[in-house]
Amino acid sequence: MTGTLVETEDRRQYKATRRRGLTVDLSMTLATILAALAIGFLVMLLTGNDPVGAYEAMLTGPLERSFRVGRWLEDATTLTLLGLSVAIPFRARQISLGAESQLYAGALAAAAVAVFLPLPPVVAVIVPLVAAAAAGAGMGLVPGAMKARLGANEIVATLMLNAIVVRVYDYLVNGPLKEPGSSAVHSKSIQQDSALTPLSDWFGIPLGRANVGLLLMVFTAVALWLLITRTPLGYRIRMTGSNPEFAEYGGIRVPRVIEWSFVIGGAVAGLAGAHLVQGVYGRLEPGLAGSLAFEGIVVALLARNNPLVVVVAGLFYSYLRAGGDIMEQQTDVGTEIVVVIQAVIVLLVTAQALPDLLKRRLARREVAGR
């Protein structure tokens, strides 16, 4: 029935409705964030803390010193790459939770090349990156093929693969790859030429471990956006995700598309691993990724799997993480409150409760006014 309404609109009206829908979406996202902050504020009040001081630390903290900015950007780079890596399978309606295994595979591949293979400058940066992407892609292909060819459940397949790969990684870092003679557990450092250039060198201010991986991340996001919107494969991924039966009916080989979505996502997660090795730590360390792989899923959901929006969501989410750490250092309030805020935002945004409510009210008022 809504249909007849749209059909009778002329093009200008339709565009206006669409523009207004976009404005509503944007302003509602902001309102959602404010609502989440307000809830956090209340929680802090109720638990007898000083919310003003805590928020000051959290919201302005990450920008106060340049190395904190660096900390934020470095974290955002990894997180966004991980968000992008799941956004692609999500677009094909594949619930891939395999970013973790793909990241570790990528990290191992990058480290193997960057530590042991002497290469001329520039090439020494690129080859480990390519190796990481390939390893991640391979690690994505496994659950992808299991789903597409054997009908395995991709959630189970990716989770199990994570469990295996993380153990293998731990074993390698604690054993064969552990730096001889070192008391701490980590691998040998990568060769100087393989490191991703720190941003500090460019801007001449201390930016911590932030590096050109940031640009690589932005470039990847744009490339993926082009892939999704401007290539036949992207079209097939979108149609498969929107209605797989329609895709099949239209002659698209759906299993092939599903495999590709896993492979592409895996390659991007592999890059995230390379970023950690070549840019952040300079070597393999245990528990390299922390909880980032799963926060990447949240970022992808927040961005509704649009690669360009994933960048914004990743930057925002990392900012909250960085701010939460500073808040914990400077005040009595723990990072738990950040978790509360993040959870509220995720709930409201993924449920899209607010925008839909407002759009419906607007539509009703318009009809009443006619």
Structure tokens at 332: 């009595």
Q: Is 27 in the site for other proteins (CB under 8 A)?
A: no
Q: Is 1 in the site for other proteins (CB under 8 A)?
A: yes
Q: Is 174 in the site for other proteins (CB under 8 A)?
A: no
What residue type is assigned to position 273 of the chain? G
Q: How far is CA 157 from the centre of its chain?
A: 20
Residue by residue, DSSP assigns 131-147 as HHHHHHHHHHHHHHHHH
**Binding region for other proteins (CB under 8 A) out of 152-160, 164-172, 212-220, 241-249:** 241-249
The footprint of other proteins on residues 131-160 (CB under 8 A) is none
Q: Is 336 in the site for other proteins (CB under 8 A)?
A: no
**Binding region for other proteins (CB under 8 A) out of 102-110, 176-184, 340-348, 357-365:** 357-365
Binding string, residues 283-302; x marks residues near other proteins by CB under 8 A: --------------------
Q: Is 313 left (phi over 0), alpha (psi -120 to 50) or beta?
A: alpha
Shortest separation between residue 263's beta carbon and other proteins, angstroms: 17
Q: Is 3 in the site for other proteins (CB under 8 A)?
A: yes
Distances (CA, A) of 321 to 55, 97, 206, 290, 357: 13, 21, 20, 13, 29
Distances (CA, A) of 221 to 81, 198, 232: 8, 20, 18
Q: Is 19 in the site for other proteins (CB under 8 A)?
A: no
Q: Is 120 in the site for other proteins (CB under 8 A)?
A: no
- Residue 198's DSSP bridge partners are 211
Q: Which residues does 37 contact at the CB level (< 8 Å), separation at least 6?
A: 55, 341
Among 45, 50, 230, 290, binds other proteins (CB under 8 A): 230
Q: Is 5 in the site for other proteins (CB under 8 A)?
A: yes
CA distance 38 to 105: 41
Q: Is 363 in the site for other proteins (CB under 8 A)?
A: yes
Burial class (CB in 10 A: 0-12, 13-18, 19+), 167: exposed
**Binding region for other proteins (CB under 8 A) out of 23-31, 170-178, 195-203, 250-258:** 250-258
Q: Is 183 in the site for other proteins (CB under 8 A)?
A: no
Q: Is 250 in the site for other proteins (CB under 8 A)?
A: yes
CA distance 296 to 207: 23
Q: Which is nearer to other proteins, 12 or 204 (CB)?
A: 12
Q: Contacts from 233-241 at CB under 8 Å and sequence distance 24+?
A: 233/257, 233/260, 237/88, 237/91, 237/92, 237/261, 238/91, 240/92, 240/93, 241/90, 241/91, 241/92, 241/93, 241/94
Among 153, 243, 291, 350, binds other proteins (CB under 8 A): 243
Q: Is 234 in the site for other proteins (CB under 8 A)?
A: yes
CA distance 172 to 277: 15
**Binding region for other proteins (CB under 8 A) out of 4-12, 83-91, 122-130, 286-294:** 4-12
Q: Is 229 in the site for other proteins (CB under 8 A)?
A: yes
Shortest separation between residue 155's beta carbon and other proteins, angstroms: 23
Among 246, 287, 332, 343, binds other proteins (CB under 8 A): 246
How big is the site for other proteins, counted in residues (CB under 8 A)? Answer: 38
Among 111, 252, 264, 344, binds other proteins (CB under 8 A): 252
Shortest separation between residue 353's beta carbon and other proteins, angstroms: 15
Q: Report the interface residues with other proteins, using CB under 8 A.
A: 1-7, 9-11, 13-15, 229-232, 234-236, 238-239, 242-243, 245-253, 360, 363-364, 366-367
